[in-house]
Amino acid sequence: MTMEPLDVVKQTGKTIIFEEFNKEITDLVTLLTRDDQEISVEKFKNTLMGKKDNGKNEDLVVTSFEEFVEKFAPTIYETVVKTGDGASQFVYELEKPNYECTQIRLKDHAFYKMIMSMIDRKAATDKGNLDFSYDDLKKALTPQSEMEECKRIRKNYKSNVLEYYRLTEGGVPNPEADRFAENIIACRDKIIDKYQNKSPLALLPLLIADKQSQIDKMNTAQETAGADGSRAVPCSYSLDDRGNLILIEQSVSDDAGMTVPLMEENTQLVEVLRDDFVEYAPAAIRENAYVRDLVVNVFAPGGSAQLTTQDKAQLEAVKKQYQDVYMSSLESFAKAVSAVVEKFAGMKAFFDHASCDGALAEDVSVIIANCKIDTILNDELAKRRFKHYLGALSAEKDVNKIWFGVIPATAYGSDAGESHTGKGRIDPFAKRSPGGTAGKKKTGGLVSLEAVKEMIKLLEEVKIMTFTNYKASERTGFTALTASKVNEYKKDFESVNSEYGVFCYPNFTILPSEKTAVKIGTEYDADEQKETGAYIVIPGIYLDASYVAAGMMVGMQNYKLLKSKGYLVKPKYPCVRFDIEDGDNAKRILTKMNRETTTEMEKQTKDAIMEERFGFVFADNKIIYEGAVLHNSYVLNARTLKRGSNGKYKSLYKTLVRSLVDQILRSISDYVTEESVKRFIAEYANAWKRDNKDAERKYANRILFEGESIDLDPERHKLVVRFNRDEEVWDDIVINDTESEE
């Protein structure tokens, strides 16, 4: 009985990402070169892609974005340095310096969280980049946002405490109380996390909000002052035994309406928080009574700053001092890590498009090389072993074949290495350096076009289809795409001519540079006697198109994704023949990226693309499909860098089908012979053609469509395939005369 295609090849979506995410953990080059002696392919395969004793993936293999973040999120090192004029400056680095510093987890920082939220929010919007409302998301960087999160923790803490006391009242055991006891401990852990193993700067939002709260309450008291200017104090009241009204001064709390536990119980909870602080706070703040009391005041049930009698001008000055430090550190942090955040945004986009119902297809995983391609190309041993081991894996007849690769962020243009993420505000009056910017160009950590071309050639040898793009920026995005730029891209890649290379464009925008001013708070202008806005400027954040393109191709290899879009599918067929360009496919399987512009792609630009069908191209024109406007960008063109006999670039699916056939042929016999080819045609190719004769078997993932065929040409001794009226000869599938002949 003939095996189904997916019983033979297992998967058609395994991917390798060539990018450096974390310098402090292992990488592919290390795995390739650490052994003096050559190890077996089996041992290398298990090292790279096997399972550990605990059943988890090896270090470089992930199956979800969450697992990727857990493994590869770097630590950011914070240092305060003194400048020549005696001022202080916050410096952030990705490599640990040789002196004591503060360690910050990138994945926990508000800037990182804001960008990830922005990707999700923009996926569902019907607004272009300049019309999209960023203010809501940018609030995540403000001190008020941190204070709101603290209030949520406090409310949960209080709610669980009240339930716990209710269930344990009278000393009667109640198993349900254990749940609330665990919740209370979890709340304590969240409170501890606000100050433990973090920069002392993490408490600045609380300090700023505390001072602002005191100022606001003072303003309120002044607004409600009596005729003689005396301060109005909020009170509660009661009646004495003679019926006289008694006023009781109250502290001001933003917890109105929440029941406070009994006094002795509340005292116990306050002491618990104090003890936690003394036990877990960093040494730099542990002895600071003000910070300790602030933390307790923020999180204790019923806790909130009381009306202050401190001088308002002094409060404003202290608040400004805190706020200036916070703004300086946040702006410096954002500039230092924005390039890393862009990489993580790319990986999020990859998994968003590659997954169906939050998971990759069965047996599909992602290998994170954790290095740039030049570290492979510049090391002869690494390069030789890469060809040997990855070539052996590509010849695998089952689950370990790598189908796709991603090389993001190729250096572009005259300022190729100067990442837009590090520019910030420009001083037009800064002193000019002699000779201007002339001299040798730097790559600024990006990979060069020459290196990408060499790597595509290397990956072609091991049969990995590789997606690449120029570094994402405003200069390589949708608004910058013109006919002349398309022609420039063509010229740059005209020497590649590889069906395993895919150039992707235009790139996507997460946070445009025009929208990077963030209002952190207010400052009191004594001269004007009014509040003015306090702003920082963070870098624009952009997304490499190759992550989206590769993610979409991996996603489309999953029959479950096609089924979720309403297609008829056969679960045991791979989806290598599914053509995103065909019919309405591009309108049914959209990107998860918003339409960025409100204008149509110019005719000249589209003509420059479609004349030769160059690249894997995204478009964001306004399209109405099935009575509704599509709010996401879509695939306009999906071609490799190989020209066909008609002068146009070849569709991706043609190469993928050939890789599938090659896998099946080698499963039939160790050597491809005329006999094994005839057996393949009889058992597989003819069955695929029969799918077109029955309407109920016209699966979206069938491998041959109407009029298509795979045949043996006995005269040329080659396989000849006909796809959509185009004929090509598969020269690289060598047919031997006998089983023993190589």
Q: Identify the band that residue 426 occupies on the pLDDT scale cut at 50, 70 and 90.
A: low
What is the pLDDT averaged over residues 195-212?
Answer: 76
What is the pLDDT averaged over residues 308-320?
Answer: 77
Per-residue pLDDT tens over the stretch 676-735: 999 999 999 999 999 988 888 889 999 999 999 999 998 888 999 999 888 999 988 888
pLDDT at 729: 93
Helix (H, G, I), strand (E, B) or coil at 57: strand
pLDDT over threshold 60, residue 631: yes
Per the document, the length of the chain is: 742
pLDDT over threshold 80, residue 275: yes
pLDDT at 438: 39
DSSP 8-state code for residue 356: B
> What are the Cα distances from residue 115, in Å, to 119, 134, 204, 346, 690?
6, 11, 21, 11, 49
In angstroms, rounded to a whole number, what is the distance separating the alpha carbons of residues 202 and 105?
12
Helix (H, G, I), strand (E, B) or coil at 187: helix
What is the pLDDT averaged over residues 131-160?
Answer: 85
CA angle 636, 652, 728 (to 5 degrees): 125
Per-residue pLDDT tens over the stretch 224-256: 655 555 555 555 555 556 556 565 655 544 443
Cα–chain-centroid distance for residue 297?
A: 36
What is the pLDDT averaged over residues 457-467?
Answer: 96
pLDDT at 252: 47
136: left (phi over 0), alpha (psi -120 to 50) or beta: alpha
CB atoms within 10 A of CB 221: 17
In angstroms, rounded to a whole number, what is the distance separating the alpha carbons of residues 441 and 619?
32
Place of tokens 């095996």: 3
pLDDT at 520: 86
Place of tokens 């796809």: 723
> What are the Cα distances from residue 145, in Å, to 105, 256, 294, 323, 520?
19, 20, 17, 14, 10
pLDDT over threshold 70, residue 270: yes
pLDDT at 307: 42
Nearest Cα residue to 486 out of 474, 470, 500, 497? 470
pLDDT at 257: 38
% helix, strand, coil for the chain, step of 5: 45, 15, 40
Cα–chain-centroid distance for residue 481?
A: 24
Per-residue pLDDT tens over the stretch 323-381: 888 898 899 999 999 999 999 999 999 999 999 999 999 999 999 999 999 999 999 99
Nearest Cα residue to 506 out of 595, 630, 373? 595
Q: Which two tokens stand for residue 458?
A: 């290397």
CB atoms within 10 A of CB 696: 7
pLDDT at 89: 79
pLDDT at 108: 87
In angstroms, rounded to a whole number, what is the distance separating the alpha carbons of residues 714 and 724?
23
CB atoms within 10 A of CB 257: 5
Place of tokens 């058992």: 683
Predicted TM-score (pTM) of the model is 0.86
The residue ranking higher by pLDDT, 43 or 413, is 43
Residue 88 has φ and ψ, to the nearest 5°, of: -105, 150
pLDDT over threshold 90, residue 180: yes
Beta-bridge partner residues of 507: 477
pLDDT over threshold 80, residue 316: yes
